[in-house]
Amino acid sequence: MVKKSLGFLFLAVFLIFLFHDVSVAGSIKYTVGGHAAAMSEKLLDRVVDLSVAKDYEALQKLLNSGLVIMLKKDVKVEVLDTKLFSGKVKIRPFGTNLELWTVIDAIKEIRYKSNRNEKNASELKIGMSRQVVISLLGHPTWAVIPGDKGDLALPDPRIKLELYWKNTPCSPVVVSFDSAHKVTGWDDGRAFCGKDAQLFEPSNEYSCGKADRSKLCK
């Protein structure tokens, strides 16, 4: 998966490190599912670059080559190495000798029961319209738009909107859109679950109840 806005990712990585130290080498985690994993760190960087460029044809060729795979959900893995502040982690699926690089939000501490948003997020596709996304996930809770400042500011000029869905007991489901309000990426809300999940939720200034963003949430 190439589904992440980097501003939210870096905030999540920092808070996870601060409160839980989830990425210690040798620790046991579970995969979130729907994220890309590559045979090398360099290939993972290439996946991210192609995702930002929206070169989906090139991404598909990497997947077809077998050098990049899509992780399944709830696979038990061992953490081998972590580059925390670049948001990358090296993992080994149990029962294999395969070593893979993926993004740090592709793994989680424990397996939580999926809620409606997480289940429906598995049906999202690149290029899907905003209206179809809302029909799948329901009305979002928060919206980030051009001009917003701070940690949740849109990280790339090609991303024109990010919608967030409250996702208790986990971090929000986040979907990114381009200028045509077509999906460019998403986070299915499994990056962090537990008592501190609310730390990842936007403040009320981003609420879909605000006049400047309510129309984008319908």
160 and 205 both lie in a single domain: yes
Global pTM reads 0.51
Q: Is residue 39 part of a domain?
A: yes
Last residue of a domain, one of 77, 108, 139: 108
- Same-domain status, 103 and 67: yes
Strand partners, 37: 69, 102
Query: Based on the domain organization, do 168 and 143 belong to the same domain?
Result: yes
The pLDDT value given to residue 116: 58
Q: What is the pLDDT of residue 191?
A: 65
Instruction: Please report which confidence band the pLDDT of residue 176 belongs to, taking 50, 70 and 90 as the band edges.
Output: very high
What proportion of the chain, given as a percentage, has pLDDT over 90? 49
Residue 157 lies in a domain: yes
pLDDT classification of 168: cutoffs 50, 70, 90: confident
Task: Collapse the DSSP code of 177 into the 3-class scheme (helix H, G, I; strand E, B; otherwise coil) and give the result.
Answer: strand
Give yes or no for residue 45 having a pLDDT over 90. Answer: yes
Dist. CA 50–CA 153, nearest whole Å = 21
| pLDDT value of position 198 | 79
The DSSP string of 55-83 is -HHHHHHHHHHTSEEEPPTT-EEEEEEEE
Structural element, H or E, at residue 43 = helix 41-52
Mean pLDDT (whole number) for 127-134 = 95
User: What integer pLDDT is reported at residue 115 of this predicted model?
Assistant: 56
Shared domain check, 68 and 46: yes
Q: Which residue has the tokens 């409160």?
A: 19
Is residue 118 scored above 80 in pLDDT? Answer: no
Does some domain include residue 158?
Answer: yes
The domain boundary residue, chosen from 46, 81, 108: 108
| Domain assignment present for 201 | yes
Q: Is there a single domain that holds both residue 163 and residue 204? A: yes
Mark whether 55 and 142 lie in a shared domain.
no
Domain holding 184, by residue range, is 116-217
- Do residues 37 and 102 share a domain? yes
Report the candidate in 197, 188, 168 with the shortest Cα–Cα distance to residue 72.
Answer: 188
